[in-house]
A and B are shown apart, each in its own frame.
Chain A
């Protein structure tokens, strides 16, 4: 069912496209040798090139080019062996050269497509229009001084990939799902860390509305939205605003807006007098970027397994459900953790444990995979202790808790606390005999009400301090009760 927003004049469709700026993972910047680490002392990662000093010239970083090619391949897009850099000219305090080196006419990557999974289980293909490389700008701090803005150029010149989608999205959910998928692919590829809080991934959201069957109406751009949740909110807020404008007889003006996360609405960016005339022209300091097709193939061969392929493998080889596979591949680190746990073990059991008790424990502790107190190796060892019947499933859960608290391997905890499951039939029989002898009245009641069996099981397990192998306890009890 297609998404619409109900207005006074009827339902409105949304048309959404995203321009995502992804900071390229590389040691040095796009055109200079300064570092790209986040959070450094202000202006300590700035070369004279980044600061736009007289006579300075750009020289491109090979790894940034490689990362853009890898990303293009991961987006199933066409990598252009010939592309060119253009200057985008405008004045701003965080743009030292007075222009940004970008790609306008001939980007490094052309059209592509990514399949995006939606919550109803359907898959929608969202088109990629292009991907190009460009310099990031510096940072302005406007709250450090009453009448001055402070400029830090550390980020100036860091490589960005601008990934432009086709206007194929039709709802806030689709926008969120697209961005989630895109981020996932970038993180799998290792071409961008996708950290939206730190600003390594930012989205400009283009929104327009229309009545069903119409051509596209005027769109507005909501700039620099820095979380998936805010993207979805911004889509809805902006759509509603535009609907109101149209319905009150007005016309939506093409403009650039910001999303106010507190108010949950978009507002116009001030100071947009001359609609930017960027005067793009080919950067005369840079010859064309020529990429050897052989190098493209080399990069393609070196690509890691991507989320969709991995998910398919989990379904086909491990027999996991599509849903479970999706959850496990959502983050590369999670998938790697899971595969280590599953190696040489029952993959479904491993999946259940990882997604169930293990995730629950992490949530309770407020931790993520990257700082999990329980390693994949140890979790795997825990599963081994279940399959060799040292532990019952129930005991294993307790052991997992202890592993989380102490960081110790399961074997150590079992030994220290003497939790070894009792599978010795003799010991179980002795325990069962004791319970049966002590509860003749219950035995009589059981004859009438077979459901009392569970009470007996509980009593035996209690007497055995939970360490009786449940299956065996059941077996022995049944044999003796029904004898």
Chain B
């Protein structure tokens, strides 16, 4: 599976990575190299095999419905690059 430049740019957009001039072509070459190498997985016979999801495999442990957290806005906001009082601030979004 080979990536064209258009796909590289689309993926970069999905991943929110700005690409500089020429970076798309460089990435294209690198990614195609990696993807070419990954292609060998197509040769494996995986019929009847369930995908391993990870996540521990065992059943999900559950918490009790008790409020144990929150009430620390300062700690939550303390590292924010742009903070407006009790809010995080970002460039205005128009919906």
A residues lining the B interface (CB < 8 Å): 26-28, 32-35, 41-49, 51, 59-65, 84, 91, 93, 140-142, 144-153, 258, 269-271, 273-274, 277, 279, 282-290
Contacts and interface: CB of A to CB of B under 8 A. Distances in A.
Contacts of B53: 84, 282, 284, 288
Given A46-B76, A258-B95, A61 B14 contact: no
Q: Tell me whether chain B's interface is mostly helix, strand or loop, or mixed.
A: loop
B66 interface: yes
Interface string B25-62: 00000000000000000000000000001111111111
Given A44-B73, A286-B60, A287-B58, A28 B66 contact: yes
B90 A93 contact: yes
B71 interface: yes
Nearest to A154: B70
Most chain B Cβ neighbours within 10 Å, of A64, A148, A283:
A148
Interface in B51-88: 53-71, 73, 75-77, 82, 84-88
Given A142-B94, A274-B14, A277-B14, A61 B65 contact: yes
Given A140-B93, A149-B90, A41 B63 contact: no
Nearest to B13: A274
A43 B70 CA distance: 8
Given A60-B61, A62-B63, A93-B88, 7 more contacts: A28-B63, A28-B67, A33-B68, A42-B85, A61-B63, A147-B91, A282-B54
B16 interface: yes
10 contacts: A41-B73, A43-B88, A45-B70, A45-B71, A48-B75, A49-B69, A142-B95, A148-B84, A286-B55, A287-B59
B56 A287 contact: yes
Given A43-B86, A282-B53, A287-B56, A33 B91 contact: no
Given A149-B93, A274-B14, A42 B86 contact: yes
Q: Tell me whether chain A's interface is mostly helix, strand or loop, or mixed.
A: loop
Contacts of B95: 142, 258, 269-271
Interface of B: 10, 13-14, 16, 53-71, 73, 75-77, 82, 84-95
B81 to A, nearest CB: 12
Contacts of A35: 67, 70
B8 to A, nearest CB: 14
B72 to A, nearest CB: 8
B66 A43 contact: no
Contact of B89 (A46, A49, A148, A287): A148
